[in-house]
Amino acid sequence: MSIPDCDVLVVGAGPTGLTLALQLLSRGVRTRIVDQDPGSPKMSRAIGLQPRTLETLDMMGIADRLVEIGHRTLRTSVYVGGRRRLGIDMTAADSAYRFILHLPQNRTEEVLRTRLAELGGEVERGVELVDLVQHGDEVTAALRDVRGHESRTSASYLVGCDGAHSRVRQLLAVPFEGAPYPFEWLLADAELDGVASDDEVHVYWGSAAQPLALIPIDGRLWRVSAPVRADRDGAAPTLEEIQELVDTRGPGGIVVRSPETLTCFRCQIRSTGTYRVDRVLLAGDAAHIHAPTGAQGMNLGINDAANLGWKLADVVTARAPGALLDSYGAERRPAAQQVMAMTDGMVRFILDPSPVRRALRRAIMPALRTPLMQRRLADRMAQLAIAYPDSPLSRPGRVRGVPRPGARMPNIRLHDGRTLHEALRAGLPVLAGPADGLPASVLVRPDGYVAAVGPQAEGLTQQTRSARVGT
Ligand SMILES: Cc1cc2nc3c(=O)[nH]c(=O)nc-3n(C[C@H](O)[C@H](O)[C@H](O)COP(=O)(O)OP(=O)(O)OC[C@H]3O[C@@H](n4cnc5c(N)ncnc54)[C@H](O)[C@@H]3O)c2cc1C
């Protein structure tokens, strides 16, 4: 049996691939990460890190670095006919991070790359995956560098984190089911004069059927986002056009200036039916894409990587059988479907111009303002509501006063003074119990979800001593 060149080849160094490489390297897995992009400056796409993603990054020890340089956004206010009718208040979220952290995606990626370097890793830039073949216990990949030189490399596993147009997905012939939306979005990252507060997202529905969103990026720059009918074929807007949209759809008196980005994009809602074909897996935008409404996509990808990282590490080091990897798709596909349904619902709620839908919108807004609904909305936006109760890894059992198996475990303080997230930075499960102020034992997986509660949790830990979940 030949030894592959590396344990895991990560294709794509966007937020998903970088997070996965960090997860693997921090557990001592021999990892290569390649990206076809030679390092050219990119337009920043995502700007929102949700509370659950910040928790995930805290378990990796890097949330503080991001929070230090990001901009806290506390709520989204929706104005109809000039009056504030609805707010989604992130301060109601059940997390220490009661805000969405706004930071341009390229700066988030910079922080992830810095951590990668600290762990001895590096993105191989200008290296494109052009082919892959699975045989026996390994995957052989054909890579092409910027000079057109092709080489072959082998890995025990390959993960396609290569975005919406994923070559890996195409080579696997995995369908990407879905459709484009009948809208294009115009975006401008620019300075704005005349907006009331920069700690919230402002969404305006004026007399125009289509809304306008003003999203603070960093205290200086704003993202102006406005859907329009899909009839411009991707033509970028001018500053004058953006100003006109802000004048007609906004509250009046707002001046747009010094744009850094003016762009138009068409978005789609698509996903794969599977996340794994033998030794090749898909994560992030390669497996699911949807509208940017609600700032969810990058967050889903980062959390896909956190779910897959510890499982892949256990499998390649032979501490768990390959079947553990099936739980990745079993858990993350429903999570993506849930988020996609939410963003699709938001698109329809916001953009459907029919008079019936508009009347319905007005009718249900008061119900959305109750404290219970506020908390639910915040937790769903924050991706804190994602749970894996039906996962094969969630052991049956329920104990009053502790989260159910499959649920997210809150970041409690442990008896030794560390927080749960700090303890999870070692990359292993944690058994918490009465000494930590809990009414029963709880076995927490390395990604911060509950695996088992009560005697089940203790039994599992004793069985494995080093507490490998899922073996
Ligand atoms: C305008 C806009 C606004 C958005 N706003 C938000 C937001 O606020 N919040 C949010 O969560 N999400 C947002 N998103 C979505 C977010 O940008 C994506 O979900 C996120 O970038 C997905 O990360 P990824 O790592 O999976 O893929 P990508 O970021 O697309 O990275 C894929 C990488 O793979 C590389 N690659 C591709 N093919 C190959 C190959 N054959 N070989 C080697 N490398 C390859 C590419 O060069 C790229 O670097 C927005 C998207 C858009 C378009």
17-43 pLDDT tens trace = 999 999 999 999 999 999 999 987 777
pLDDT value of residue 463: 54
Query: What pLDDT, on a 0 to 100 scale, did the predictor assign at position 365?
Result: 78
Question: What does the pLDDT average to over 292-317?
Answer: 95
Higher pLDDT, 354 or 305: 305
| Domain at 181-267: CATH code | 3.30.70.2450
Local confidence band at 470 (pLDDT 50, 70, 90 cut-offs): very low
**Lookup result for tokens 């997860």:** 23
Q: What is the mean pLDDT of the chain?
A: 92
Question: Cα dist. 402→98, 199, 397, 450 in Å?
Answer: 22, 34, 11, 9
Instruction: Specify the residue with its C-alpha closest to ligand 1, atom 18.
Output: 298
Confidence of residue 447 (pLDDT cuts 50, 70, 90): very high
Q: Provide CB contacts within 8 A for 455, sequence distance 6+.
A: 441
- Of all protein residues, the one whose alpha carbon is nearest to atom 52 of ligand 1 is 45
Question: pLDDT value at position 325?
Answer: 97
At residue 363, the pLDDT reads 79
Q: Are 152 and 58 contacting, i.e. CB atoms less than 8 angstroms apart?
A: no
- Which region, left, alpha or beta, applies to residue 278 given φ > 0 means left and ψ of -120 to 50 means alpha? left
Helix (H) or strand (E) holding 382: none
pLDDT in tens, 211-237: 899 999 988 999 999 998 878 888 999
Query: 468 pLDDT exceeds 60?
Result: no
Whole-number Å distance, alpha carbon 316 to ligand 1 midpoint, is 27
Q: Which residues of 371-390 are buried (b: 16+ CB within 10 A; e: fewer)?
A: eeebeebbbbbbbbbbbbee
| pLDDT for residue 1 is more than 70 | no
Q: How far is CA 335 from CA 345, 373, 441, in A?
A: 15, 20, 26
Strand order in the sheet with 450-453: 430-432, 442-444, 450-453
pLDDT of 417 higher than 70: yes
Angle at alpha carbon of residue 361, lines to 180 and 230, rounded to 5°: 25
Check: CB of residue 89 under 8 Å from CB of residue 51: no
Domain boundaries, the chain: 6-47+104-176+272-345, 181-267, 388-471
CATH of span 6-47+104-176+272-345: 3.50.50.60
Q: Output the pLDDT for position 462.
A: 59
- Sheet with 221-229, side-by-side order of all strands: 83-89, 75-80, 200-205, 212-216, 221-229, 177-193, 255-271, 288-289
Q: What does the pLDDT read at residue 339?
A: 95
Residue 403 has pLDDT above 80, yes or no: yes
Q: What is the pLDDT of residues 257-275, one digit of tens each?
A: 999 999 999 889 999 999 9
Q: Average pLDDT of 316-345?
A: 95
Choosing from 105, 143, 215 the residue with most ligand 1 atoms within 8 A of its CB, the one to mutate for a pocket test is 105
Min mean pLDDT across 122-131, 295-304, 346-355 is at: 346-355
For residue 16, give the ligand 1 atom closest to its CA.
25
* CA dist list (Å): 457 to 211, 329, 380, 453: 49, 24, 28, 5
Confidence of residue 377 (pLDDT cuts 50, 70, 90): confident
* pLDDT mean over 410-416: 97
In this predicted structure, what is the pLDDT of residue 273?
A: 97
pLDDT category at 466 given cuts 50, 70, 90 is very low
Q: pLDDT at position 2, please?
A: 78
pLDDT at position 299 over 70? yes
Q: Rounded mean pLDDT of 123-142?
A: 97
* CB contact set of 277 (below 8 Å; sequence gap of 6+): 134, 172, 174
Distance, CA of 3 to CA of 451 (rounded, Å): 33
Identify the weakest region by mean pLDDT among 157-161, 359-363, 466-470: 466-470
pLDDT of residue 374: 82
CB neighbours of residue 149 within 10 Å: 9
Q: How confident is the model at residue 105 (pLDDT cuts 50, 70, 90)?
A: very high
Q: Is the pLDDT of residue 14 over 80?
A: yes
Higher pLDDT among residues 93 and 171, named by residue: 171
456 has pLDDT over 90: no
- Out of 285, 332, 343, mutate this one to test ligand 1's pocket (max ligand atoms within 8 Å of CB): namely 285
Tell me, in angstroms, the distance from the centre of ligand 1 to residue 14's CA. 6
Helix 355-368 × helix 371-381 angle, to 10° = 110
Does pLDDT of 330 surpass 50? yes
* pLDDT tens-place string over residues 422-435: 999 999 999 999 99
What's the pLDDT score for residue 49? 97
Of the chain, the percentage scoring pLDDT greater than 90 comes to: 75
Bigger pLDDT: 355 vs 83 = 83
CA distance 272 to 434: 42
Question: Best substitution site from 162, 176, 218 to test ligand 1's pocket, by max atoms within 8 Å of Cβ?
Answer: 162
Binding pocket residue ranges, ligand 1, CB within 6 Å = 11-17, 34-37, 45-48, 105, 128-129, 161-163, 167, 187, 265, 284-285, 292, 295-299, 301
Mutate to test the pocket of ligand 1, among 298, 307, 342 (most ligand atoms within 8 A of CB): 298
Q: What pLDDT, on a 0 to 100 scale, did the predictor assign at position 467?
A: 41
Give the Cα-Cα-Cα angle 288, 283, 383 (nearest 5 degrees). Answer: 65
Q: Cα separation of 228 and 221, whole Å?
A: 22
Residue 469 pLDDT more than 60? Answer: no
